[in-house]
Structure 1
Amino acid sequence: MSGKLYLVGTPIGNLKDITLRALDTLKECDIVAAEDTRQTLKLLNYFSIKKAMISYHKFNENDKSNEIIDLLLQDKNIALVSDAGMPGISDPGSVVIKKCIENNIPFEVIPGATALITALIYSGIDSNKFIFRGFLPRENKDKKRLLEEIKNYRETIIIYEAPHRLKKTMEIIMDVLGNRNIAICRELTKLHEEIYRGSIEKAIEYYDEKQPRGEYVLIISGKSDEDIERENKNKWDSLTIEDHILSYMNKGFTKKEAIKLTAKERCIPKSEVYKYSLKI
């Protein structure tokens, strides 16, 4: 028999955003494992909860995961919390979850606020399909490499960024992705919450005159049909229509199929492409 691990979502700013279920879990557990015990103590004190605490953060996650597993095997119930939001989402948590699964130890997720979803809804940008990449790499060359990998995605892109890297990151995003729509969400649910919506180019200008402070979530629009159409047009501008048709025929397409594909990519009528095909 073992105890149970509870992964508890905590407020991302406003302490009143905690759920009743999260409060019950924190009250009833034996130990709270916290990313920053000082930060979590403020939360516990606010709700008059007194608990033994242990530290569990990204620098000690591997060792502390073993300690948590040992405590769970001693029939202790443990609540794991990050400084804000959901454990395991750009915060420690995934290592101990994996070890619970390996050791057949039960765990339960107590959902709560998370910055990426709050920011996505605030953004006004398409929320039906999105990808979350957390914090981008620190090195600029690594940032560019990752952005190159996702630049053709149609999904809305969500990333986190620190204030001292915000300006440079936006310049790199502009360079790789182009001048897309962006929402920059700062200090969500806190006193100085701020949402900037506009183009990436205008956002760079805005932060040229404003010192970034606080925690940021960037919501960037995915690649649009217009972007794809424009890129295809530029791609094929260097080819004659005859060569465009031949490029598909050389790949095994029939002449009829090649005409159809060429017309679609050049956004011109098939009848016009057909005239050029007569020379082939």
Structure 2
Amino acid sequence: MNRQVKEKTGTLANHGAGTLYVVATPIGNLQDITLRALEVLRSVDHVVAEDTRHTRKLLSAHQIRVPLLSCHAHTSAEGLSRIVSLLKKGAQVALVTDAGTPGISDPGVALIQETLRHDLQVIPIPGPCAAIAALIVSGLDSQPFAFLGFPPSRGAHRTQFFVKYANLSMTRVLYESPRRLVRTLEDILDQWGDLRVAVARELTKVHEEVFRGTVSQALDVYREGTRGEVTLVVEGAPVASNGEVLQDASWKHALEAYLDHGDSVKNAVEKVQKIYRVRRRDAYQAALHLSRRKNEEPGEGGFS
């Protein structure tokens, strides 16, 4: 007999048709699984997993025995339909990914969309997410931010990716594999500039590491390679004092934006030189002028 999972309100998740529970699982440390996630996993009729072998280890660690179904990047439309058919018949189904939250750079999004297309209920069971974990420890602005997922691995699509998001003024969060980390940092430096970045590696695991610095500094650190999945958090494109993103603006506008963001004269000049072809002497003199003008301006509510 199909079992329905009770919510904390004490009401059944639905009546009649089944429910798809989107269950977040640990990104490294098994202790990060929530009590609610365990309750759902113990109560459903089926668990749909990206890699059943990986998920079986997680379930075994918590003495959970439940039939496993597979849903990965190569799952056919027929495969999705079979899972939806179970839901229509009243089955309670949990969707998990290998690590983190299903649907975030994860093939499970196809099942979520197909389930909703049939007007069936989808309920989130929140928990770990590498993108959010990296963002909150990055030291960069967390609001607003844009999650960009994995950059395309090669070709024109990859080039278009970095060009498309070059002028986002909000913090950008990306996933990347360790073998492509250096190449991605090089592309960011080339297309976005030598911005501040956090490189979060092996989050919640024994060898967790978060590097904070500029893109060029990160390249110096990781040039020889690294291990473990990586989350990159990159500051937004510079914005001038009038609020406009510096798209085709002059190097003087770029200088002003960096100084407005709190960079020192030295750091502002170095950043501008990496993006624009300008002599250091000219950039330095302009930065000193802008800095003096900024310091001479009266503060809000202050005395003039």
The reply to whether TM is greater than 0.5 is yes
Deviation at 1:235, TM superposition (A): 8.5
Q: Which residue of 1 aligns with 2:170?
A: 155
Aligned with 1:217 (options 218, 222, 231)? 231
Aligned with 1:55 (options 70, 80, 101)? 70
Superposition misfits of 4+ residues, deviation over 6 angstroms? none
The one-letter code of the counterpart of 2:78 is D
1:17 partnered with 2:32: yes
Alpha-carbon separation, structure 2, partners of 1:196 and 1:61: 40
**Equivalent runs, 1:194-233 vs 2, <5 Å:** 194-209=209-224, 211-225=225-239, 232-233=249-250
Stretch moving more, 147-156 or 22-31: 147-156
- Of all paired residues, the percent bearing the same amino acid is 41
Deviation at 1:229, TM superposition (A): 6.6
**Equivalent runs, 1:50-129 vs 2, <5 Å:** 50-60=65-75, 62-129=77-144
Alpha-carbon separation, structure 2, partners of 1:231 and 1:41: 52
Contact kept? 2:167, 2:247, Cα under 8 Å: no
Contact kept? 1:9, 1:110, Cα under 8 Å: yes
Consecutive unaligned residues in structure 1, runs of 5 or more: 237-266, 270-280
Change (3 A) 1:33 1:229: closer
Alpha-carbon separation, structure 2, partners of 1:142 and 1:123: 27
1:144 partnered with 2:144: no
Matched position secondary structure for 1:23: helix
Contact kept? 2:237, 2:246, Cα under 8 Å: no
Matched position secondary structure for 1:225: coil
Alpha-carbon separation, structure 1, partners of 2:162 and 2:180: 16
Contact kept? 2:198, 2:233, Cα under 8 Å: yes
The one-letter code of the counterpart of 1:232 is A
Change (3 A) 1:61 1:129: farther
Consecutive unaligned residues in structure 2, runs of 5 or more: 1-15, 254-289, 294-304
Aligned with 2:198 (options 164, 183, 196)? 183
Q: Which residue of 2 aligns with 1:249?
A: none
Structure (1/2) with the larger helix percentage: 1
Alpha-carbon separation, structure 1, partners of 2:233 and 2:141: 10
Contact kept? 1:61, 1:92, Cα under 8 Å: no
Contact kept? 1:62, 1:95, Cα under 8 Å: no
Alpha-carbon separation, structure 2, partners of 1:26 and 1:230: 49
Q: Which residue of 2 aligns with 1:39?
A: 54
**Equivalent runs, 1:248-259 vs 2, <5 Å:** none
TM-score, length of structure 2 as denominator length: 0.74
Deviation at 1:75, TM superposition (A): 1.4
Alpha-carbon separation, structure 1, partners of 2:139 and 2:252: 31
Deviation at 1:62, TM superposition (A): 3.0
1:5 partnered with 2:31: no
Deviation at 1:226, TM superposition (A): 5.8
Note the alpha carbon deviations across 1:128-168, whole angstroms, 9 max, x for none: 11101100011154222111111111100111001111111
Contact kept? 2:50, 2:107, Cα under 8 Å: yes
Stretch moving more, 122-131 or 97-106: 97-106
Q: Which residue of 2 aligns with 1:250?
A: none
Q: Which residue of 2 aligns with 1:193?
A: 208
Q: Which residue of 2 aligns with 1:252?
A: none
Alpha-carbon separation, structure 2, partners of 1:101 and 1:229: 40
The one-letter code of the counterpart of 1:180 is L
Matched position secondary structure for 1:219: strand
Larger radius of gyration: 1
Contact kept? 2:25, 2:128, Cα under 8 Å: yes
Q: Which residue of 1 aligns with 2:185?
A: 170
**Equivalent runs, 1:236-255 vs 2, <5 Å:** none
Change (3 A) 1:141 1:103: closer
Change (3 A) 1:189 1:117: same
